[in-house]
Amino acid sequence: MADDRKRPIAVTRSSLPPLEEYVEMLKPLWESAWLTNMGEYHRQFAEQLKTYLGTPNLELFVNGHMALELALQAMDLSGEVITTPFTFASTAHAIVRNGLTPVFCDIDPVNYTLDADRLEELITDRTTAIVPVHVYGNVCDVERIGEIARRHHLKVIYDAAHTFGETYDGRGIGCYGDAAMFSFHATKVFHSIEGGAVAFRDEKLAPALYELKNFGITGYESVDSVGANGKMNEFQAAMGILNLRYVDGEIGKRRALARHYRGRLDGVEGIRLCPEDPRVRYNYAYMPVVFDGYRKDRDQVFAELAARDIHARKYFYPCVNSYACYRDRYDPALTPVADRISRQVLTLPLYASLSPDDVDRICDIILQ
């Protein structure tokens, strides 16, 4: 057998269905020449996702970011929106691009989601919504966030980009809050090349979401809102439909690899893994490891892996409130837990086609 021990390992690798199956899906597109604008695959994909995610109301989008940005627009918000700095650029950008002001709330030191204990002190009479993030597939404190939001009449829009297919207390994760955004980007657990969706509670939101992704067009001669182009095309929907057939198998492989990592790293002095909540059915999207008082720091582990062509990711680093485009308006010192975790965390390679030997090789380097 060929020695492949020197093969580079990226942090993630997109899963692809058998090529023949995708080609077969493309044939009807060549016949109908209906390539985008809510075609037959778009319709089928949305229906299948409603079933899979357990969410009765769902709208597809060209990507997760447009899904979030247009969901916020559909909610007709104003003023301030509380969110977390420990997330991907998209979350805060979606708020700012709606003319709203993000207010950064610190994170929970154990599961890295928005700290519900810090939430209420940030609410002002200008606050209209909360955008928490289910980071790494860890579920936010949905009960307390929901209770606080109800008391202050705030909307809750979850960035659920990391939690495709997860359930909490047996309910689909998209059922929590007024809306939840999913991302189907190629690097996510489940993908449609690029793609996204919004699951939402109030079915009356459906026309607004549909309109906003299609320029605000409501008829041949009428445009009622300042929408964007957020439509998912048929090639994306076809990929999504196919990948949905394989996603449970993919998650099963990820689960086995995540357990293998845990077996090697759990309990090591100075290394912290996220605890698993028995109420959550996880999708094993990421393998975050926090180096806190370990004999090597995060950057050292990152460099030692990189020297062997193994590419972990400093995800999320830096925090959003220290980006060049935000730092003159925000002080990362006001969210010290997020700031610290962003300097200590590394997400290790995790994808379905990674082998247990690869996991051992990575753990050997970390532990040596």
Instruction: Check binding of 133 to ligand PLP (CB under 6 A).
Output: yes
> Contact at 8 Å (CB) between 363 and 261?
yes
Give the x-and-dash track for 150-189 against ligand PLP (CB under 6 A).
---------x-xx--------------------x-x----
Task: Name the minimum Å distance from CB 275 to ligand PLP.
Answer: 20
Q: Measuring CA to CA, how many Å separate 354 from each of 88, 123, 261?
A: 24, 44, 12
**Residue number, 155 or 191, with CB nearest to ligand PLP:** 191
**Footprint (CB under 6 A) of ligand PLP, residues 47-76:** 63-65
What do you get for the CA distance between the two ends of the chain, in Å? 27
Our finding on whether 90 is near ligand PLP (CB under 6 A) is yes
Record the tokens describing residue 342, joined without a space. 């962003």
Can you say whether residue 209 is alpha, beta or left, with left for phi > 0 and alpha for psi between -120 and 50 degrees? alpha
Closest distance between ligand PLP and the C-beta of residue 145, in Å?
Answer: 16
Minimum distance of ligand PLP from residue 235's CB (angstroms): 16
Q: Residue 190, exposed/middle/buried by CB under 10 A (0-12, 13-18, 19+)?
A: buried
SS3 168: strand
Closest listed residue to residue 346, CA positions, set 282, 310, 301: 301
In the chain, which ranges are continuous DSSP H helix? Answer: 19-32, 40-53, 64-74, 89-96, 116-119, 142-152, 206-212, 234-265, 298-307, 336-344, 356-367
Report the residue number, 271 or 348, with the smaller CB distance to ligand PLP. Answer: 348
Supply the minimum distance, in Å, between the C-beta of residue 61 and ligand PLP: 8
Asked if 81 and 131 touch (Cβ cutoff 8 Å), the reply is yes
Minimal distance, residue 135 CB to ligand PLP, in Å: 7
Share in percent of the chain as helix, strand, coil (round to 5): 40, 15, 40
Q: Which residue is nearest to ligand PLP (CB)?
A: 64
Contact stretch for ligand PLP (CB under 6 A) within 35-43, 83-91, 139-147, 359-367? 83-91
What mask, x for binding ligand PLP by CB under 6 A, covers residues 91 to 130? x---------------------------------------
- Interface mask (CB under 6 A) for ligand PLP, residues 184-223, using x and -? -x----------x---------------------------
**Residue number with CB closer to ligand PLP (88 or 330):** 88
* Least distance in angstroms from the C-beta of 361 to ligand PLP: 26
- CB 29 within 8 Å of CB 241: no
Which C-beta is closer to ligand PLP: that of 138 or that of 294?
A: 138
* Contacts to ligand PLP by CB under 6 A: 63-65, 87-88, 90-91, 133, 159, 161-162, 183, 185, 196
